[in-house]
Structure 1
């Protein structure tokens, strides 16, 4: 009998109201966003300085195009990952936290995808400039596969494997 009660408790999850759940999820989301924000802001800050270096003038047209795309992606990723903070500030006290959590979660996911694209194009640019070798696209592809596995593959597999249906 006790095993059945324990199993039922596991299936039900936490005993919290919608507001308590939204508060908990908001706290967890903001902690996750802090990690991603730091990474994207450091990368974006570095990218902004490149155009002011003497080496920039010597870049090939293709490398300049990759640089511009990378900066724009970095700006978009920064916006998406800072968006949840602005959202919270603008809707705080309006009794819409569950909806705010949903939208902030979506912005964070978009921000992670944009961060992946930014890191990919930054890596492509750096390796092209550093090596001029034909194996660069293969290296970048390998790193992208690794990011996809770490950021999306393992989490989705874990969700599928360990959540109840």
Structure 2
């Protein structure tokens, strides 16, 4: 059972996405949790996903990104990590996992699943992207570097994301506490 704290922060007490599209969010998160290999409470776990989701929605709304794709990214981008340390292939495994969930827990068109998978596969590379949805995903993840005492660099963020650096860093530092799971 997931506590009200995490249910609220991840909005998993409903199958409606943060922006209104319906998909089997509860089923997807349960599937992720069942196979998750690192600590649910660790630096790449559920607390991180909640902060990435918040950043995705803020920046994605400003930028006009595909909000369902960025929401799915928040939950899936680190879902296939084998370590909280170096894990160079977690993005590739995550993209493959996202494809395997399509049509079971959510239904994305080929172009939307391709964008999601590209965002997941390459989110750790420090690249920038000209596609708004993919860059929103990467910005949201990078804005949570404060959880490991790293100030995000404007060099690797979009213009929209750079204005959130100070607030995001402070928020990541203040909200990196463990989430209780019942």
Using the size of structure 2 for normalisation, the TM-score is 0.25
Larger Rg: 1
Tell me which protein shows more helix as a share of its residues: 1
